[in-house]
Amino acid sequence: MRTIEHAVAPAGRRTILGAAAVGFLMPSRRAAASPNEQDPWPALASQIFPDRVLEDGSDLFAIDAPYRAEDAAVVPVSMRIAQVPHDTREIRKIVLAIDANPSPVAATFTIEPGSGIDSISTRVRVDDYTNIHAVAEANDGRLYAVARYVKAAGGCSAPALKQTADGIPVGTLRFRVFPAAEPGTDPNRREAQVMVRHPNYSGMQMDQISRLYIPADFLEVLRVWQGDRLLLTVEGGISISENPVFRFGFKPDAAKTFRVEVGDTGGNRYSGVFPAEPAA
């Protein structure tokens, strides 16, 4: 059994916060880590996954993100399952954690058996130079981890956009199924994307008029069904970027529609039904 090794990331106060309980602001450090700085991940991992062993997951799946982000409030992150042929392991859940963020767990993705989901991507806030970890739980009950180091800072406190600027109300859902892949690729694979109009306030952003901090208000859960079959559940936190976007690869079936249901921490619920085929 191989244990995963990690790049060294900046250390500091690293406390796992409940997603709805952001009670303090953590100062951001904007310098690269030195070799003598302590890696915060072992302590975080023991809190997020108590009494569990994390193995190297590089032969099972991969995580990708820009090494130097253009915008710390909108950092693209993708995870792709790529196990070798005849590998019987199937990923059932992926926890996405940003080591340096005040609330490190950005999202938990639960993948339903038979969904064929082999990739998931989203956009996150990054508050400091840090490793981003993805930890997958497979059907063998074991945990597998991969990591990607990202240089970005200040994403959790970046000012929010004006949500009513373009007249699109909060809670608006947009869903898209992409056309079949290029010739020569697996014809049984498709990709879909769901977008939610929502400020996803982190609790660390300041109202520029009142100079008071805006209370945290973010997507708590998002579920996607293909017909009547649940495909994917996303449990979110403050580290998911404003106007959340989730794109995933899946195995299409004969269903004619997709259904999306979303709930936020303010108790609001949004839903929509969308055609399974891409628009002409």
Residue 260 belongs to a domain: yes
Cα torsion through 250, 255, 257, 260, rounded to 10 = -50
> Please, what's the b/e burial string for 205-229 (b: 16 or more CB within 10 A of its CB; e: otherwise)?
beeeeeeebbebbbbbebbbbbeee
Range with the lowest mean pLDDT among 16-25, 171-180, 202-211, 262-271?
Answer: 16-25
What pLDDT is stored for residue 24 in this prediction? 33
Give a yes or no: residue 31 inside a domain. no
> What backbone phi and psi angles, to 5 degrees, belong to 264?
-115, 175
State the residue range of the domain holding 223: 41-275
Q: Is residue 15 part of a domain?
A: no
Token pair, residue 244, equals: 């959340």
Measuring CA to CA, which residue among 104, 93, 173 is closest to residue 132? 104
Is residue 144 domain-resident? Answer: yes
265 domain-assigned? yes
d(CA 122, CA 194): 10
Q: What is the pTM of this model?
A: 0.85
Q: Residue 162 — very low, low, confident or very high, per pLDDT cuts 50/70/90?
A: low
Q: Domain total for the chain?
A: 1
Residue type, 100: A
Per-residue pLDDT at 127 exceeds 50: yes
Which pLDDT score is estimated for 48? 97
Residue 17: its pLDDT value, please?
A: 37
Strand pairing of 54-56 and 143-150? parallel
**pLDDT value at position 5?**
38
Q: What is the CATH number of the domain that holds 124?
A: 2.60.40.2470
Residue 205 counted as domain residue: yes
Residue 19: C-alpha distances to residues 11, 96, 98, 106, 235 (Å) = 21, 13, 13, 9, 10
Domain assignment of residue 227, yes or no: yes
Averaged confidence pLDDT in the chain: 85
Question: Do residues 143 and 4 touch, judged by C-beta distance below 8 A?
Answer: no
pLDDT of residue 34 exceeding 60, the answer is no
Is residue 91 one of the residues assigned to a domain? yes
Note the pLDDT tens digit of each residue in 132-160: 999 999 999 999 999 999 999 999 988 87
